[in-house]
Structure 1
Amino acid sequence: MTHADRLLSLARTRGVLRSKDLAPLGIPRQALARLHRRGALERVGRGLYVLAGADVTEHHTLVEASRRVPHGVVCLLSALRFHDLTTGDGTSPQDPFDVWLAIEGKARRPEPEQVPLRVVYMSDEAFTGGAETHELEGVEVQVFGPAKTVVDGFKYRSRVGLDVAVEALKDYRWSPAFDADALWRYAQVCRVSTVIRPYLEAVA
């Protein structure tokens, strides 16, 4: 199998190729450049390529961020939009143009890339609990579930705004995915149970 064949096979399997991943596989970056010039691969970001004509979804930036920071978990505004827990219209601060990504407290901060990241450091169960795996464009992406995301909104209310956190709680309360036990469990893990309690009682 030629380098080109291997790259096309990887693109079909992974969805998104990172040029920095090729060296450990023994594939020169020039092979990637040649396929790009031939039109077999499309460049969707710095060092990121997909098959030409690939079905790129609305979640493509999450895929790019996940490929660049595989140990990260999509959180806060990006996770709210993923779970349809925000009423943003494309112009309000609720719309996460940047990708909000949680990383473990001791992990190295990702280097600046073309995909703008809002990095949030978390530790212990606040980081390990509540993450779900979703396959997007053939890539496994870690996203905090709805309950954990709503709780994080209150924990990081100084960064996203209390109004955003309250609106997300209202949307979640009346969604089919609502899980009061999970919400309260994560509120205790993140130490915001006293903060979230009156708002939860108000929408009960």
Structure 2
Amino acid sequence: MTFTTRAALQAGVHPRDLYRWRDEGDAIELSRGVFRHADAPEPSFPDLLAVGMRAPEAIVCCVSAAVAHGLSDEMEPAVQIAIASGRNLARIAYPPTTVFRFDAETFEVGLSRVEAAPNEFTRIYDPARTVVDLMRLRHRLGEPLAHTVLNRYLESPGAKPGRVLEYANILGAVGPVRLALDIAGAR
């Protein structure tokens, strides 16, 4: 189980006891103020879990989401998260984090969740939204990466190209996404 310092204090744990647990190995500190019981099952995505606990309003996006969905093998040096424009986020030094600001009106389009640890979930964009975001940000994150993720998505069971186009329309990226889908379909 993962918990924050705030949750521990609200449960009546004295800070001295919390840090003794950490120092004696009874709790593992995943990030500043985020702990996990040492005997808890190993998390699948410890960095996503830590960032999700530090920034519960954020959504895992872009390359981090593509890796979590099995659409890319490229690991970014930082967890990529999105926050709604106009919102502030406390600085997260560890794990390293890159923040994208997405339009507040479309911020939750494609919102899903990933099991970062057994029975512990983190907010993440679904695979179709991830494809569209990488196409929208292809000049910043790399066009080859965006096309690789799109192709892996299209080859995956349950792929929904119509949903990709729907999200592209909502997010203002129909042109490049339609072109990429046409090229991928012509292979």
TM-score by length of 2: 0.89
Count of residues paired in the alignment? 184
- Deviation, 1:165, is 0.6
CA shift, 1:27, in A, is 3.3
- In structure 2, the partner of 1:62 is 48
Q: Is the 8 A contact 2:30 2:47 kept in 1?
A: no
**One-letter amino acid of the counterpart of residue 115, structure 1:** P
For residues 97 and 38 of structure 1, what CA distance do their matches in structure 2 show?
29
1:126 is paired with a residue of what secondary structure?
A: coil
Paired residue for 2:31?
Answer: 45
Q: Determine the structure 2 residue equivalent to 1:106.
A: 86
Q: The residue matched to 1:120 in structure 2 has which SS? A: strand
Instruction: Report the equivalent of 2:70.
Output: 84
User: 2:129 matched to 1:143?
Assistant: no
Query: What is the correspondence of 1:1-204 to structure 2 with a 5 Å cutoff?
Result: 15-86=1-72, 88=73, 94-137=74-117, 138-204=119-185
Give the letter aligned to residue 97 of structure 1: P
Alpha-carbon shift at residue 177 of structure 1 (Å): 2.6
Structure 1 segments unaligned to the other structure (5+ residues): 1-14, 89-93
Q: Distance in 2 between matches of 1:53 and 1:136?
A: 16
Q: Cα offset for 1:33?
A: 1.4
Partner of 1:9: none
CA contact (8 A) 1:101 1:118 kept: yes
Return 43-52 or 146-155, whichever deviates more.
Answer: 43-52
Distance 2:99 2:25 in 1: 34
**1:81–1:96 CA contact under 8 A, matched in 2:** no
Aligned residue type for 2:130: T
Q: SS where residue 57 of structure 2 aligns?
A: coil
Distance 1:150 1:31 in 2: 45
Q: Which runs of 5+ in 2 are unaligned?
A: none
Distance between the aligned counterparts of 1:102 and 1:72, measured in 2? 6
Q: Distance in 2 between matches of 1:125 and 1:173?
A: 27
Alpha-carbon offset, residue 60 of structure 1: 0.8
CA shift digits 1:86-134 (9 cap, x unpaired): 1x3xxxxx32231000111111033132111110111234311101123
Letter of the structure 2 residue corresponding to residue 145 of structure 1: D
Shift of 1:34: 2.4
Counterparts of 1:158 and 1:177, CA distance in 2: 28
**Aligned Cα root-mean-square deviation (Å):** 1.8
Output the TM-score relative to the length of structure 1: 0.83
Supply the distance in 1 between the matched residues of 2:158 and 2:8 (Cα, whole angstroms). 40
CA contact (8 A) 2:111 2:124 kept: yes
